[in-house]
Structure 1
Amino acid sequence: MSHRLVALLAVIAAFGALSAMALMEAGYIGIFMQHFQNYAGMQVLTDLVIVCVLAIIWMIGDAKTSGVNPWPFVVLTLVAGSFGPLFYLVAREVKSRAAQTA
């Protein structure tokens, strides 16, 4: 297993734990409602939306060269934010490793 794959899985595990705690504390809707309480929260939410849109555009373009189907990861990005690009990077790394060993 490559160092890059281990790092990606560690980030997913840590971010997943943080996300689970946030969901237990505030609920799915509550996570978004926190961002409408002041301009600082709205700025963070807007930043997340911009980054996710850019990640979707990148995944679709990168899929043409990497051979990974981007659409499950696009949907995951729309539903769960950063998890989509993170799992796309895992799939890309696994596919790249498989191609190198074949």
Structure 2
Amino acid sequence: MRTALILAFAAFGAFSLYVMWQVGYLGIWQAGMSSPGAWQVLVDLVLMSCIALGYMWHDAQRTGRSVWPFALITLAAGSFGPMLYLLLAPRRTLQHAPA
């Protein structure tokens, strides 16, 4: 799972850098408001970001992690916040039950 997440982060990050180079940050938002279909995609992104923020908030309280850096990244850059939250999560070790 972590490998797939790393690959997705790298590929989407490279694509996002290319898009930012072409149209800029505001250009991405302008494109997201250019038609009813684009609005649907933008609203979907906002809803999924809110769901991800809720998950991260709950998980951070449960595990003692700070959610704020990832929440700010989510608000500014969408799915990069949740992807980083998952990538930087401490690996859980398997605990063997006594025999």
Larger relative contact order, structure 1 or 2 (CA cutoff 8 Å, min sep 6): 1
- Output the amino acid matched with 1:90: L
How many residue pairs were aligned?
Answer: 95
After TM superposition, give the deviation of residue 27 of structure 1 in Å.
Answer: 0.6
Using the size of structure 1 for normalisation, the TM-score is 0.85
**What corresponds to 2:41 in structure 1?**
44
Equivalent runs, 1:1-102 vs 2, <5 Å? 4-92=1-89, 95-97=90-92, 100=93
* Bigger share in helix: 1
Q: Deviating runs (4+, > 4 A) in structure 1?
A: none
Identity %: 39
Using the size of structure 2 for normalisation, the TM-score is 0.88
RMSD over aligned Cα atoms:
1.6
Unaligned runs of 5+ in 1: none
Distance (whole Å) between structure 1 residues aligned to residue 63 and residue 83 of structure 2? 15
Unaligned runs of 5+ in 2: 95-99
After TM superposition, give the deviation of residue 6 of structure 1 in Å.
Answer: 1.7
